[in-house]
Amino acid sequence: MQKQSFSILNLILLFVLGVLLAVAAELAYGGWIQIPILSLVWWRLGLQEALPIKKQALSGFTFGLGYFVVGVWWLYISMHDVGGMHALLSVLAVFLLSSCLAIYFSIACLAIPLFKKSGVSGLILAASWVAMDFLRGYLFTGFPWMGFAETQINGPFAGIAPIFGGLACTFLTIWCSWELLQIKGRWLTSSLAIVGVIAFTQAIGLINFTKPFGEPISVRLIQGNFAQSLKFNPLAIGQQIDFYTKEIIKTPANLIVVPETAFPWPQVNLPIGLINYLQTFSSNTESNVLLGLIGEVNTDGTMQYTNRALGLSPNQIPYQYDKFHLVPFGEFIPLGFRWFIDAFRVPLSDFARGGADQSPLTVVRKDQLDIHAAITICYEDVFGSELATRIRQSKQPVNLLINMTNLAWFGQSQAPMQQLRLSQLRSLETGLPALRATNTGITSVLSSNGKVLQSVPEFTQTTLNTQVQTYSGKTPYVIWGNLPILSFSCLLLIWALIRLRRF
């Protein structure tokens, strides 16, 4: 009876630690704060070393559940407050998603009882975590949200991202938290290892793999701040189109960007002559304009909508980018889930997918070299390896990242800040500055090392006018992708499993 009560208490403590870990991610120095909290998690999991694997898995699952319930709670806002879904069904949906994500944590945590007696247990646990994080971002179209990597933007291991990517940041975070737990038993070696690795990553972060390209460009990012309830309201659609049109033509700039679906209407149904009017403005003022709207494509004889970025450049054929990585339930309907979409009442929830090899936007500049910008729309900013692959395979050298998004679905939650950190990690990985044009915030400009240079307040109707220095070159991560860190992690796990079978 005493053992059972202790087990329940331990599960409660692990759930609470998961909650604290998610809360720490939102703090100014979250990347540092998460490390000692993770050490406490490993300590509590280590206490159950003698328990069966199933109970160990339950312990890791409970920790992950606490982490994700808090980390993705903004989905409740999108489903209940905005989508009109029943409160109980919305809570259940968040719980089920969090449970699915917690399974990856549960499997990764099994490395503790299996390999705790090894002298390199921390490395094996880190390798296990990297493998599970990779799968979390790949299986079932992937949902790598709330990883430990983006928190390292404000942590000790950001410097490794341009070389080995975000998964390497995750690896070092897990390893360091394990070594911190070992200080009591071998304080000298663990302390030296931790200090040495942090010093190394801080030093390597001073290396610049990309360099400034040409003169800075003038940029205008327009934040409309239209509530999601108005996005597809017939009366409000005209107001949104009028607002963005007036803001676009108000002042010329080298590059003017509006958010995702700023024109919330199929392109063919927009007011007659609107695109031609904006194209004329672009040509007359030497301004490049990037619009968020709803496109249409012919797929096997059937017209389908796309989430589109339409680029207008001086005296050029319009550019278009159709979103490639779609959001399950929001932009495509998984098999058997039509009932969920009907309950959620999502308009335009079955988009066509754009190609993976779409070219970057060409920003035309008078008497200067053109700039090429890689476009991502909202959720696509989560997938670092996909963006790195696009940059690596692009026929034109990419100089700038642009993310267009609409986070009005998630109200006043932590979702905008979470996506901002993901954008920061993408800039850090690629060594390229980034522009974020959002409907409700956080509209911002990021440096090539992921720092926020400028931003405007959330939930305000405003414009960010600034100068942005573009960059050229490729980081090692863009060249190699996740191959080095995944190979290293897999080799560690294979070695650990062979050693486990022998002994």
Active site residues: 260, 323, 378
User: What is the rounded distance in angstroms from the CA atom of residue 397 to the CA atom of residue 389?
Assistant: 13
In degrees and rounded to multiples of 5, residue 300 shows phi and psi of 50, 45
| Residue type at 393 in one-letter notation | Q
Alpha helices in 205-233 (DSSP H): 228-231
Burial class (CB in 10 A: 0-12, 13-18, 19+), 37: middle
DSSP at 77 = I
Determine the Cα–Cα distance for residues 373 and 365; give it in Å rounded to an integer.
13
Q: What is the CA radius of gyration of the chain?
A: 24
- Which residue reads 């559940």 in tokens? 65
For 356-417, give the DSSP string.
TTPPPEEE--TTS--EEEEEEEGGGGG-HHHHHHHHHH-SS---EEEEEE--GGG-SSSHHH
Q: Are 232 and 345 in contact (CB under 8 A)?
A: no
CB 342 within 8 A of CB 85: no
Q: Which two tokens stand for residue 267?
A: 């392109």
Bridge partners for 192 per DSSP: none
Region of 211 (left: φ > 0; alpha: ψ -120 to 50; beta: rest) is beta
Q: Is 498 helix (H, G, I), strand (E, B) or coil?
A: helix
Q: How far is residue 53's CA from residue 144's CA, in Å, rounded to a whole number?
A: 26
Residue 65 parent element (H or E): helix 53-71
Alpha helix (H) ranges present in 287-374? 338-344
Specify the length of the chain in residues: 503
Query: Of the candidates 149, 163, 165, 174, which has an alpha carbon nearest to the alpha carbon of residue 205?
Result: 163
**Residue 221 in contact with residue 439, Cβ under 8 Å?**
no
Query: How many H helices and E strands in the chain?
Result: 18, 15
**Long-range CB contacts (< 8 A, 24+ apart) of 40-43?**
41/14, 41/17, 41/177, 42/112, 42/125, 42/177, 42/178, 42/181, 43/181
Tokens at residue 403, please? Answer: 């993310």
